[in-house]
Structures are given as C-alpha cells and as structure tokens.
Amino acid sequence: MDSQVMVALALSLVGGLSTSLGALFVIISDAPNLKMLGLLQGFAAGLMLSISFLDLAHNAMNSIGFLKGNLWFFAGVIFFGVIANFIPEPTLAPSVDAKNKKKNDDGGKDVMKKHRRQVLYSGIITAIGISLHNFPEGMAVFLGSMKGLELVLTWPWLLLCTTSQRLLLQGVAVALPVYFATQDKWQAFKLATLSGFAEPLGVVIVAYLFPSSLDPEILEGLLWRG
C-alpha cells in the first residue's frame, strides 16, 4: 500500500477514534435522565453547528462561491430528508417486568416507551447524518496527503485537529440518545463508533477508485452538504 495512503488512513483512523472517545465519555456514567439528555444534546448540537457554519461554510464559500455553496447545502438538506423519510421508527422490546404490571399503569408506560422510541430514532438519524458528513472528510484527508510530504506533515494534521474536536462531540451526540433509549452501553458505543469510521472508509474508497480524478469543487460541496 502506498505510504501516502497509509498516512491518510492513519490520520482518519485517529479522527474516527475520537468519535469512540466521545461515546466513551457518555457510557462511563449512568444513563442520563430526560433533563440531562436535553441539556447535553443541546450543548453538543450547538457546538457542532457553530463549528460547521464557522469553518466548513466559510471554506466552501471561498472555494466554490456563494451560489454553488448554497446549492450544495440545500442539496444536502433534501438528500438527508429523503433518506430519513425511509428509515422506520425503531421498536423497543418490552421487558418482563413491564408485561407483569397492572393495566392501569399501561398508559404512562406507553407514553414513556413511545418517547424512548423517538429518542432512539433521533440517535439513529444523527448517526446516519454524521456518517454522510464524515465520508467526504476522509476524502479531504486523503487529498491533503497526496499534495506532498510537506503538506502531509502540516495540512492534514491541522485538518485532523479541527475535525477530531467535532468528531468527539459527534460521538456524544450519537451515544446519548441511544444510551438513554436502550440503557445499553454497548449499543450506544457501537453505533457512535460506526458513524466515526465512515471517515477512514472515505480514505479507502477515494484512494482506490478515483485517486487522481476527484474534483476539488465536488469535495468542497460534499463537505458543506454534510
């Protein structure tokens, strides 16, 4: 395997592991209650949105122009909306204790069960959206490594530092709702980790399918779209 591909893959793997680290911060403690879930999700969402708009939007507009940048942005909104529309709402298997409860408690349990289902659904949607965003980030890391040794030692590392912070928050954003809904630490960690490893997957695919023919304009659009 080419050394430049190895460098790009190693960098993207470190970035992907940042997502796992974010999930680890979530699961090392008890599952959050409703109030804490809302507070932490809001905090993570605010940080990720601010990073995306202050970093990715600025770079995309400078690289491909205001009009094309906005076209790619709304294309991403529509694309993700279509995908989310085809994802069925997950079901949560009732526990043995829940089956043995009295019927007069069923109403309250049904409401809580429905809420947990909705929270789990939001976690799955978040994981899919993050995966779609991380994939072109892996492409960006690969293209940076192909620009020569000097940039391999500088630009990809700068990209890694900025994306790792966001990936850590993405791990939190995915693991929180899944952990709350399922009370399963492994499921929360697994889904967050899989969403983070879309980045090294982007490196592998671009390296072996079209290493020299990827249009930089398309890459900027994909990054901003995500």
Contact 37, 186 (CB under 8 A): no
Percent of the chain with pLDDT over 70: 66
pLDDT at 150: 47
Of 71, 54, 65, 52, the C-alpha closest to 136 is 52
Summarize pLDDT for 26-64 with one digit per residue, the tens.
999 888 887 888 888 788 778 777 766 666 666 667 777
Check pLDDT > 70 for residue 217: no
User: Could you please report the per-residue DSSP string of 148-179?
Assistant: -HHHHHSHHHHHHHHHHHHHHHHHHHHHHHHH
Written as one string, the DSSP assignment of 185-226 is HHHHHHHHHHHHTHHHHHHHHHHHH-TTT--HHHHHHHHHH-
Ranges of each domain in the chain = 3-91+105-225
Query: Does residue 80 carry a pLDDT above 80?
Result: no
| Separation between Cα atoms, residue 69 and residue 160, nearest integer Å | 23
